[in-house]
């Protein structure tokens, strides 16, 4: 079983990213669950979502305490939330950042904000980085095929919005890099 913790701010699509990752895993015939955690629903407030993916039924229904992967949608949260607490020794960090900085031995980065802005994934001035982050996450973890995520995105967002988000998935997949 692979356990993933997603950390971001309200408006960045953290909860939707968790749901789409779980949906992509289910499309591939795996078992998955997505569990969001958030306080007051307001843009900019810290938000978390946790995902489990397995090739067998998942008996756990609790928070993820020792993630295999952590995805941080806003680098300012590294100081506030301590998202690496409990990460497995061989765990992976994927961070949305325009300047590579190693926070962990397996740190991957991409500028998901620039990707979102370049293709018009903004709402009220906020860049919705979730689908670009998903592309990066599936590339570095190999948890599911990128095509399953693109299918989940297109199913969730029909039409033009789905196409734009699928493009963000592809761009995130291509642009993620290991720090160092």
Q: Are strands 107-110 and 177-178 parallel, antiparallel or unpaired?
A: antiparallel
Which element (helix H / strand E) includes 37? strand 31-38
How many independent structural domains does the chain possess?
1
Structure tokens at 109: 């980065």
Rounded to two decimals, what is the model's pTM?
Answer: 0.95
Whichever domain contains 111, its CATH number is 3.40.920.10
Q: Of 128, 99, 125, 119, whose CA–CA distance to 171 is shortest?
A: 119
Q: In the predicted model, what is the mean pLDDT of residues 128-148? A: 97
Quick one: DSSP state of residue 92?
A: E
Q: Which residue range is the domain that position 31 belongs to?
A: 2-178
Mean pLDDT estimate for the chain: 94
Distance CA 66, CA 170 (A): 28
Q: Are strands 122-123 and 2-9 parallel, antiparallel or unpaired?
A: unpaired
Q: What is the pLDDT of residues 52-92, one digit of tens each?
A: 999 999 998 889 999 999 999 999 999 888 999 999 999 99
Q: What sign for the dihedral angle of Cα 177, 169, 44, 5?
A: negative
Buried b / exposed e over 123-143, threshold 16 CB at 10 Å, is eeebbbbbbbbbbbbbbbbeb
Distance CA 36, CA 124 (A): 23
pLDDT of 45: 85
């Amino acid at each position: 079983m692979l356990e993933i913790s997603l950390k971001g701010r309200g408006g960045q699509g953290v909860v939707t990213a968790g749901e789409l990752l779980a949906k992509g895993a289910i499309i591939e015939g795996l078992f998955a669950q997505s569990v969001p955690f958030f306080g007051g629903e307001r843009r900019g407030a810290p938000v978390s979502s946790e995902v489990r993916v397995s090739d067998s039924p998942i008996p756990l229904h609790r928070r993820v305490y020792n993630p295999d992967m952590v995805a941080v949608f806003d680098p300012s949260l590294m100081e506030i939330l301590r998202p690496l607490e409990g990460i497995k020794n061989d765990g992976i960090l994927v961070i949305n950042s325009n300047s590579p900085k190693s926070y962990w031995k397996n740190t991957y980065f991409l500028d998901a904000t620039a990707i979102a802005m370049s293709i018009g994934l903004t709402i009220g001035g906020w860049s919705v980085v979730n689908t670009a982050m998903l592309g990066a996450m599936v590339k570095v973890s190999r948890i599911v095929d990128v095509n399953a995520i693109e299918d989940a995105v297109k199913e969730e967002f029909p039409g033009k919005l789905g196409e734009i988000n699928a493009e963000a998935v592809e761009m995130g997949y291509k642009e993620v890099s290991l720090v160092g």
